[in-house]
Amino acid sequence: MSVSPTYTADADPLHADCPGREVFELITSRWVLLILWALKDGTQRFYHLRDRIEGISERMLSQNLKSLCRNGLIERYVEPTVPPKVSYALTPAGQDLLSIMDGLAGWIGRQLPAIEEARQRYDRMER
């Protein structure tokens, strides 16, 4: 299989000084894809995201939301109420990434039986 790169030579993620590597590391982190996936249905409040993403702590959610905002993948909206109501939504860049994630989720769904079989086969050989 041949995959032709769509990046320039100075943006090769295999190089340590690649400016896109930080973004690559962000979007492949443990919680980021789940946060983006949770936002696919539209704007959501912090507590709703926390409740939807099982296992994420408030600290990790807050930290990842800040990184996603900083990198332009989500937007943060603050309603001037007391207390302020804060909600989050995907930006066009976040929606574009979500379309790639849809393909990845589909691949996982299609390949999961084969992956499970490979895991079992490997585990039997390791005993």
Give 99-115 as a 3 state SS string: HHHHHHHHHHHHHHHHH
* CB-CB contact of 24 with 73 (8 Å): no
Q: 74 with 68: CB under 8 angstroms? A: yes
**Domain 18-126 carries which CATH code?**
1.10.10.10
What residue segments make up the domains of the chain, in order of their start? Answer: 18-126
Residue 78 β-bridge partners: 86
Taking only the tens place, the pLDDT of each residue in 20-72 is 888 888 988 889 999 999 999 999 999 999 999 999 999 999 999 999 999 99
Task: State pLDDT tens for residues 74-95.
Answer: 999 999 999 999 999 999 999 9
What is the Cα–Cα distance from 101 to 108, expressed in whole angstroms?
A: 10
| The two three-digit tokens of residue 37, written as one number | 């996936």
CA distance 29 to 110: 23
Q: For the full predicted model, state whether its pTM sits above 0.85.
A: no
